[in-house]
Each structure stands twice: as C-alpha cells, then as structure tokens.
Amino acid sequence: MSSTAAEVVRLLTVRGETLAVAESLSGGLVAAEITAVPGASKAFRGSVTAYATELKHELLGVDATLLAERGAVDPQVAAEMATGVRKALGADWGIATTGVAGPDPQDGQPVGTVYVAVDGPPGAASGTARGGKVAPLRLNGDRAEIRMESVRSVLALLLQELAGEQTGNERAQDTEQNGGF
C-alpha cells in the first residue's frame, strides 16, 4: 500500500465520494493498490480491467471509431475510459490507465508510452467535469517498472485533483475526524 493510495482513500472518505478504476496495461494493479488501504470499501466502488481493445468500447463506452483510427494507446481513449468507468460503476471519480508496457510496441506506439486519466463529478455551478484530466507519460524500465509507475502516476494525478478541490470546510472536518486542531 502506498501513501498516495492511503491519502486518496482518506480524502474520498472525508468528502463522502467514491472512485471507480478502468485499467488496461496495469491489469488490476491500481485496484489492488487502493484496496490494500484499510477502509477502502468506504470509497472504492470497483474496477474494470479492459485489457482487450474491444472491451474498452463494449464495457467502458470508448468510441469505436476512435479505437479503430488511433488504437487503444491514446489520450482521448484514456479520458473516455475514465469517464466510462465512472458512469458504469456509479462513482464520483473515475481513473484510467492505458499504454504500452512492452516488450513490443503497440498501435504504433513505443514501449513506455502511457496515458493516465481522471474524470471527476460535474461541478455544481458550472456543470462541467471537475476532473477531466489526461497526463501523457514516457516511461523507462522493464514491463514491471512501467506498470508500477503507471499505477503511481494515475494515483498521483487523482490526488492532485482531489487536493485541488478540497475546501476549507472539508479540511476542518478531516482535522476533527483525525483528532487534530
């Protein structure tokens, strides 16, 4: 269990929000990292490991034309995976990983090309997604290292979004719940 995963679960719990995960190259490692945190069941809805390209469309609603034209390793695919899993599993937040862990290139992309995405709930005032962010990564290392860095990166991106959205009132509630001042 990472401190990032623990902080994500803590913030989601304090906010009363939930998370769903869509994974491709990480093959369930993001979900495993989150569920290693005690109390994760208060915030974690579930995950979809859509390793096969067609499952990204069938289960997560990723546009079939997009997949046919660009392949699964694409920033828009990552964004649609995060949105799709959030909606499919009824969560406030969705995160996604897609990329090439190796040993061979895929969809014309070199090994180490990864996209991680976050999709958040609609903002009350604007009606637009609060999260809606994709980060492109160029990772080095072997297959295991690329997969683990993808996990770390998507959780860090979510934490950045959650921390950026935390209001003063939520900080006060958290402090009270954890015995602080």
CA distance 2 to 98: 21
* Residue 40 DSSP one-character state: G
Strands 19-23 and 113-119: unpaired
Query: What pLDDT is recorded for position 2?
Result: 80
Q: Which whole-number Å values give the CA distances from 54 to 24, 51, 123, in the listed order? A: 12, 9, 31
Question: Average pLDDT, stretch 145-166?
Answer: 93
Closest CA to 23 of 95, 124, 119, 79: 95
CA distance 111 to 177: 44
Instruction: Give the chain's count of helices (H) and strands (E).
Output: 7, 5
pLDDT by residue (tens digit) across 14-62? Answer: 999 999 999 999 999 999 999 999 999 999 999 999 999 999 999 999 9
19-23: strand order across its sheet:
44-49, 19-23, 93-99, 113-119, 133-138
pLDDT by residue (tens digit) across 89-124? Answer: 999 999 999 999 999 999 899 999 999 999 999 764
Q: Residue 171: is its pLDDT beyond 80?
A: no
Q: What pTM, to 2 d.p., does this model score?
A: 0.88
